[in-house]
């Protein structure tokens, strides 16, 4: 029998232990562990959740990798067309891990109403467009269908719809200027079949989704000419590697750019969340560990006579230290249990009830997103338990300095 574990269980289960002088300090230690695990879980869940949400929104509008013409300028408008007759289109077979590739084009225009006007970019897409992301963003109506004949169906953001007082099935006129200022502009009347909100205000204030064939006609392009290609990959963690492979497997006249390169400032900003998470985890574990060190020292002081008796009966220092470490481990696990219950309750409440809103102009999302994964929860709990026990090895060394004779006389 493991007698250290047996004695630790008896101490924990005794009524005297629960009403002893050390009881309030022990409760504070347990509370510190619980609060620490709650704060760490929230920091990780919201930090990773925010990173993923922002990343997914950028991917929805750009793909993971964008293939463009070297002659294209830095604006959001497609200037120099690319032939769609490429080896990598409509299937990118030369690089593994490519989920989808689609051809698109963009053109700046002005939405005109009887009382107002607004500049916007029409993103032209075709029958190969992946609507999975926009189905998640869709608030009203449906996504347009461009697989048949050319049509005037358009998807507009809630931001633009509210500014220009548009509703579902309303008609809108969009004016596209020509390169020759002496020529009359092109005017297309679209029908709003869907209203979306990505929560990323920079994109919502900019893009409408329409038929690419209108832009080909306005620009004087051939049916096989497009503005650029958007590539989606299976695993975001392979983005840099796939970006290099895609670049090597496209013609020398074309350039490829990952979303982290295209939106460098955004992705550098969300990387800061990692530093915040690590900082919070370090501080919380340190605070919880210090509280448990205090609780352990009080336990040792309170059980000094028992330590002397055990030493007199032949127990070595490590056995007695193990006894108190078992005791401390129980308190840590108790704190972890309540911390997990409270933390997961708060995270699920936010996930399904969306209790905490955020300013989309600052955070690119309308509410605090949460990412709940069993892997990081287990790692957090095991890591906290191990690190706290390691910290407790130092104060438990005081047991080796206790003399049996003096300890049994201790009052």
| Closest by CA position to 172, among listed 195, 188, 150, 159 | 188
Residue with tokens 């130092």: 394
Spatial separation of the C-alpha atoms in residues 129 and 78, rounded to whole Å: 17
CA-CA distance, 196 to 160, in Å (whole number)? 10
Alpha-carbon distance of 254 to 72, in angstroms, equals: 10
Does residue 16 register a pLDDT over 70? no
| Share of residues in the chain with pLDDT > 70 (%) | 93
Contact predicate 189/152, CB 8 Å: yes
Flag whether 259 is in a domain.
no
pLDDT of residue 222: 93
Mean pLDDT of the chain: 87
- Cα 288 to chain center, whole Å? 26
Nearest to 60 by CA among 138, 153, 148, 164: 138
Q: Tell me the C-alpha distance between 20 and 26, whole Å.
A: 10
Structure confidence by residue, pLDDT tens digits, 30-59: 898 999 999 999 999 999 998 998 898 899
295 CB neighbour count, 10 Å cutoff: 26
- Report CA 239 to chain centroid distance, whole Å: 16
Query: Which helix (H) or strand (E) segment is 57 a member of?
Result: helix 23-62
CA dist., res. 174 & res. 122, Å (int):
9
Q: What is the pLDDT of residue 78?
A: 81
215 and 238 both lie in a single domain: yes
Residue ending a domain, among 222, 252, 282, is 252
User: Within 13 A of 29's CA, how many CA atoms are on the CB side?
Assistant: 26
Which is nearest to 228 in space by CA: 76, 129, 75, 81? 81
In this structure, of 9-23, 187-201, 346-360, the range with the lowest mean pLDDT score is 9-23
List the single range of 36-50, 66-80, 137-151, 327-341 with lowest mean pLDDT.
66-80
Check whether residue 248 and residue 274 sit in a common domain. Answer: no
Tokens of 388: 């706290």
Query: What residue has token string 């690089």?
Result: 95
Tokens of 266: 């955004």
**What CA–CA distance (Å, rounded) separates 121 from 208?**
6
| Predicted local distance difference test score (pLDDT) of residue 409 | 61
pLDDT greater than 60 at residue 17: no
pLDDT digit string (tens) for 144-157? 999 888 999 999 99
Is the pLDDT reported for residue 15 higher than 80?
no
d(CA 334, CA 295) in angstroms, rounded, equals 14
- Give the contacts of 21 (CB within 8 A, at least 6 positions apart): 298, 302
Structure pTM? 0.81
- Residue 8 to residue 320: CA distance in whole angstroms: 10
> 360 and 247 in one domain?
no
The more confident residue out of 305 and 349 is 349
Average pLDDT over residues 183-188: 88
Q: Could you list the residue range(s) of the whole structural domain that residue 368 is in?
A: 3-56+270-409
Which residue, 218, 252, 286, sits at the end of a domain? 252
Are 344 and 239 in a shared domain? no
213-242: per-residue pLDDT in tens?
A: 999 999 989 999 999 999 999 999 999 999
Q: Provide the domain count of the chain.
A: 2
Whether residue 243 is found in the same domain as residue 344:
no
Instruction: Give yes or no: residues 116 and 28 share one domain.
Output: no
What is the model's pLDDT at position 406? 61
**Per-residue model confidence (pLDDT) at position 114:** 83
Of 385, 386, 377, nearest to 333 by C-alpha is: 385
Do 208 and 275 lie in one domain? The reply is no
d(CA 300, CA 321): 9
Structure confidence at residue 243 (pLDDT): 94
Exposure string of 137-155, with b = 16+ CB inside 10 Å and e = fewer, is bbeebebbebeeeebbbbb
Q: Please report the pLDDT score of residue 18 as a whole number.
A: 58
Confidence of residue 102 (pLDDT cuts 50, 70, 90): very high
Does some domain include residue 63? no
Q: Is the predicted pLDDT of residue 134 greater than 80, yes or no?
A: yes
Q: Please indicate, yes or no, whether residues 301 and 201 belong to a single structural domain of this protein.
A: no
CA torsion 68-74-77-82 (nearest 10°) is -20
The pLDDT value given to residue 73: 57
pLDDT at 404: 67
Residue 72 confidence class, pLDDT cut points 50, 70, 90: low
Write the CB contacts of 20 (distance below 8 Å, at least 6 apart in sequence): 302
């Amino acid at each position: 029998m493991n007698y250290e574990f047996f004695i630790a269980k008896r101490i924990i289960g005794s009524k005297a232990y629960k009403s002893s002088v050390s009881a309030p300090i022990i409760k504070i230690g347990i509370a510190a562990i619980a609060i620490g695990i709650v704060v760490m879980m929230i920091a990780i869940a919201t930090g990773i959740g925010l990173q993923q949400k922002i990343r997914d929104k950028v991917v929805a509008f750009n793909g993971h990798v964008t293939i463009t013409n070297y002659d294209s300028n830095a604006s959001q408008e497609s200037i120099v067309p690319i032939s769609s007759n490429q080896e990598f289109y409509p299937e990118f077979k030369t690089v593994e891990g490519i989920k989808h590739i689609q051809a698109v084009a963009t053109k700046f225009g002005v939405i005109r109403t009887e009382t107002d006007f607004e500049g916007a970019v029409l993103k032209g897409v075709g029958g190969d467009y992946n609507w999975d992301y926009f189905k998640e963003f869709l608030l009203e109506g449906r996504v347009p269908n461009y697989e048949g004949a050319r049509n005037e169906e358009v998807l507009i953001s809630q931001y633009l719809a509210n500014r220009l007082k548009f509703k579902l099935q309303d008609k809108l006129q969009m004016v596209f200027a020509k390169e020759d200022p002496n020529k009359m502009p092109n005017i297309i009347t679209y029908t709003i079949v869907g209203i979306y909100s990505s929560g990323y205000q920079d994109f919502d204030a900019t893009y409408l989704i329409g038929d690419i064939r209108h832009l080909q006609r306005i620009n004087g392009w051939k049916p096989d000419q497009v503005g650029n290609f958007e590539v989606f990959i299976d695993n975001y963690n392979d983005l840099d590697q796939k970006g290099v492979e895609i670049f090597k497997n496209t013609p020398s006249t074309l350039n490829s750019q990952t979303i982290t390169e295209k939106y460098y400032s955004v992705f550098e900003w969300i990387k800061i969340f990692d530093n915040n998470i690590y900082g919070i985890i370090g501080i919380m574990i340190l605070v919880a560990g210090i509280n448990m060190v205090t609780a352990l020292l009080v336990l040792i002081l309170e059980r000094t006579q028992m330590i002397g008796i055990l030493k007199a009966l032949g127990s070595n220092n490590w056995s007695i230290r193990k006894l108190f470490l078992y005791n401390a481990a129980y308190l840590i696990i108790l704190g972890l249990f309540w911390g997990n219950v409270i933390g997961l309750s708060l995270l699920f409440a936010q996930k399904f009830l969306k209790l905490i809103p955020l300013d989309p102009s600052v955070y690119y999302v309308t509410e605090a997103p949460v990412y709940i994964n069993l892997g990081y929860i287990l790692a957090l709990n095991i890591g906290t338990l191990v690190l706290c026990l390691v910290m407790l090895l130092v104060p438990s060394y005081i047991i080796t300095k206790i003399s049996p004779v003096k300890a049994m006389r201790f009052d």
